[in-house]
Structure 1
Amino acid sequence: MSDLHRHSINPVGADKADIESIGSDVKAPENVGTTVEAIDADDIARLAEHDHVRKNFKWWELICCCFCMNNVPAVCSLLLYAAFTNGGIPALLYGYILAYTGAFLTALAIAELASVIPTVGGVYHMAIWLAPPRWKGLAGWCVGLINWVGWMFQVSSTCVLAAQGFVSFVQVFNNDYNPDKWVTYLINLGIYLPMLLVNIWGIKWFGRIDTVVTVVQVFGIFAFLVAMLCKAHPLASAYSVFAEVRYSDPVNSLGNTMMLGFLAPVTCASGFDAAAHLAEEVKNPRKMVPRIMLLVVAMGGVCGIVVSLMLGFIASDITVILESSNYYPVVTLVYETLHSKAGAAIYCFIITLVAYNGTQGSLLVASRQLMALSADGCFPRKWRLHEISPRFQLPIISLVVCCLLNMAAGALYLSGSAGWNALNVACVASFNLSYVIVVLLAVWRGRARLPADRAFKIPTSVGNFTDAAGITYQLFSLVVLSFPSNLPFSLDVWNWGIVFELGSILAIWLIFHAWGRKRYEEIDIDKLIAIADQRDAKEGTTH
Structure 2
Amino acid sequence: MQAQTQEERDTLVLAKLGKKSVLRRRFNFLSILGFACTILVTWEGSLILFTTGLTNGGSAGLVFGYLFVWIGTIAVFTTMAEMASMAPTSGGQYHWVSMLAPPSCRVFLSYITSWLVICGWQAILSGSGYLGGNQVVALIALNNPDYVPELWHGTLLFWGFILVAVFINTVTSRVLPQIEVAVLVLHVVGFFAFMIPIVHLAPEKASSHDVFTQFTNGGGWSSQGLSFFVGLIGSVFAMFGCDSAVHMAEETRNAEVVVPWCMVSATLLNGAFGWGMVIAVLFITVDITAALESPTGSLGFPIIDITYSALGSKAGTSVLTAILLFMTAAGAISAMATSSRLIWALARDRGLPGWRLVTKLQPKTAIPTLAIIITSLVAILVGLINIGSATAFNAVISLSVSSLYASYIITETLLLYRRCTGFIHPHQGHLSSLSNNNNNNNNPANHLTWGPFHLPGIFGIAVNIFAVAFGLIIFFFSFWPVATPVEPATMNYSIVMTGAVVVFALVYYVVYARRIYTGPVVEVVFEEAAVDEMAPKEKIGLGMGV
Q: TM-score interval w.r.t. the shorter chain?
A: 0.7 to 0.9
1:252/1:487 contact within 8 Å kept: no
1:92/1:264 contact within 8 Å kept: no
1:320/1:333 contact within 8 Å kept: no
Where does structure 2 lack aligned partners over 5 or more consecutive residues?
1-5, 428-450, 540-546
Question: Which of 204, 207, 224 in structure 2 is aligned with 1:234?
Answer: 204
Write the distance in 2 (CA, Å) between the matches of 1:336 and 1:186: 29
User: Is 1:397 equivalent to 2:358 in the alignment?
Assistant: no
538 and 245 in structure 1: CA distance in 2 versus 1, 3 angstrom threshold: farther
User: Is 1:356 equivalent to 2:339 in the alignment?
Assistant: no
Question: Which of 157, 160, 185 in structure 1 is aligned with 2:127?
Answer: 157
Aligned to 1:144: 114
Write the distance in 1 (CA, Å) between the matches of 2:182 and 2:196: 21
Alpha-carbon shift at residue 183 of structure 1 (Å): 1.6
Q: Number of residues paired by the alignment?
A: 504
The equivalences for 1:496-515 within 5 A come to 496-515=493-512
Q: Indicate the SS of the match to 1:234.
A: coil
Alpha-carbon shift at residue 227 of structure 1 (Å): 1.9
1:57/1:282 contact within 8 Å kept: yes
Write the distance in 2 (CA, Å) between the matches of 1:172 and 1:537: 65
User: Which AA in structure 1 matches 2:424?
Assistant: L
> Mean alpha-carbon deviation: is it higher for 341-350 or for 254-263?
254-263
Q: Indicate the SS of the match to 2:512.
A: helix
Alpha-carbon shift at residue 295 of structure 1 (Å): 1.0
Write the distance in 2 (CA, Å) between the matches of 1:482 and 1:35: 39
Q: Indicate the SS of the match to 1:384.
A: helix
Question: Which of 503, 513, 523 in structure 2 is aligned with 1:516?
Answer: 513
142 and 165 in structure 1: CA distance in 2 versus 1, 3 angstrom threshold: same
The equivalences for 1:420-459 within 5 A come to 420-446=393-419, 448-453=422-427, 454-459=451-456
Aligned to 1:295: 265
Question: Which of 200, 214, 229 in structure 2 is aligned with 1:244?
Answer: 214
272 and 490 in structure 1: CA distance in 2 versus 1, 3 angstrom threshold: same
Aligned to 2:446: none
> Mean alpha-carbon deviation: is it higher for 476-485 or for 519-528?
519-528
Question: Which of 480, 483, 486 in structure 2 is aligned with 1:483?
Answer: 480
Alpha-carbon shift at residue 252 of structure 1 (Å): 4.5
Q: Indicate the SS of the match to 2:250.
A: helix
Write the distance in 1 (CA, Å) between the matches of 2:264 and 2:44: 20
Alpha-carbon shift at residue 382 of structure 1 (Å): 5.5
Write the distance in 1 (CA, Å) between the matches of 2:362 and 2:246: 22
User: Is 1:411 equivalent to 2:384 in the alignment?
Assistant: yes
Aligned to 1:333: 306
Give CA-to-partner distance per residue, 1:439-477, whole Å, 9 cap, x none. 111122335333411211211211111111111000000
2:348/2:521 contact within 8 Å kept: no
Alpha-carbon shift at residue 132 of structure 1 (Å): 1.9
Aligned to 1:275: 245
449 and 146 in structure 1: CA distance in 2 versus 1, 3 angstrom threshold: same
Write the distance in 2 (CA, Å) between the matches of 1:483 and 1:340: 38
Give CA-to-partner distance per residue, 1:98-137, whole Å, 9 cap, x none. 1121111121221111111011111121111111222221
Alpha-carbon shift at residue 314 of structure 1 (Å): 0.7
Aligned to 2:292: 322
Aligned to 2:22: 52
Write the distance in 1 (CA, Å) between the matches of 2:210 and 2:266: 30
Give CA-to-partner distance per residue, 1:386-426, whole Å, 9 cap, x none. 12121221101001011101111122222333212211221
2:53/2:235 contact within 8 Å kept: no
1:89/1:308 contact within 8 Å kept: no
Write the distance in 2 (CA, Å) between the matches of 1:107 and 1:356: 24
> Mean alpha-carbon deviation: is it higher for 301-310 or for 383-392?
383-392
2:28/2:258 contact within 8 Å kept: no
153 and 534 in structure 1: CA distance in 2 versus 1, 3 angstrom threshold: farther
TM-score (norm 1): 0.87
2:43/2:275 contact within 8 Å kept: no
User: Which AA in structure 1 matches 2:397?
Assistant: N
Q: Indicate the SS of the match to 2:391.
A: helix
1:66/1:296 contact within 8 Å kept: yes
Question: Which of 470, 474, 487 in structure 2 is aligned with 1:473?
Answer: 470
The equivalences for 1:88-99 within 5 A come to 88-99=58-69
Q: Indicate the SS of the match to 1:494.
A: coil
Give CA-to-partner distance per residue, 1:467-514, whole Å, 9 cap, x none. 111110000001111211212333332211112111211211221111
Where does structure 1 lack aligned partners over 5 or more consecutive residues?
1-12, 23-27
291 and 95 in structure 1: CA distance in 2 versus 1, 3 angstrom threshold: same
444 and 244 in structure 1: CA distance in 2 versus 1, 3 angstrom threshold: same
Question: Which of 168, 184, 187 in structure 1 is aligned with 2:154?
Answer: 184
Give CA-to-partner distance per residue, 1:188-215, whole Å, 9 cap, x none. 1222223212101211221222222232
Aligned to 1:201: 171
Write the distance in 2 (CA, Å) between the matches of 1:35 and 1:434: 24
1:375/1:386 contact within 8 Å kept: yes
Aligned to 2:138: 168
1:95/1:262 contact within 8 Å kept: yes
> Mean alpha-carbon deviation: is it higher for 454-463 or for 202-211?
202-211
527 and 116 in structure 1: CA distance in 2 versus 1, 3 angstrom threshold: farther
> Mean alpha-carbon deviation: is it higher for 449-458 or for 426-435?
449-458
Alpha-carbon shift at residue 526 of structure 1 (Å): 10
Aligned to 1:10: none
C-alpha RMSD of the superposition? 2.8
Q: Indicate the SS of the match to 1:139.
A: helix
529 and 68 in structure 1: CA distance in 2 versus 1, 3 angstrom threshold: farther
135 and 84 in structure 1: CA distance in 2 versus 1, 3 angstrom threshold: closer
Aligned to 2:447: none
Alpha-carbon shift at residue 250 of structure 1 (Å): 5.8
Aligned to 2:278: 308
Write the distance in 2 (CA, Å) between the matches of 1:537 and 1:66: 36
Write the distance in 2 (CA, Å) between the matches of 1:312 and 1:91: 11
1:146/1:430 contact within 8 Å kept: yes
Question: Which of 158, 165, 180 in structure 2 is aligned with 1:210?
Answer: 180
Aligned to 1:5: none
Write the distance in 1 (CA, Å) between the matches of 2:476 and 2:304: 32
Give CA-to-partner distance per residue, 1:151-191, whole Å, 9 cap, x none. 00000011111111222332332122232111211121222
Aligned to 2:340: 367
Alpha-carbon shift at residue 527 of structure 1 (Å): 5.7
1:127/1:441 contact within 8 Å kept: yes
Aligned to 1:378: 351
84 and 456 in structure 1: CA distance in 2 versus 1, 3 angstrom threshold: closer
Q: What is the identity percentage for the equivalent residue pairs of Structure 1 and Structure 2?
A: 23
Write the distance in 2 (CA, Å) between the matches of 1:394 and 1:449: 36
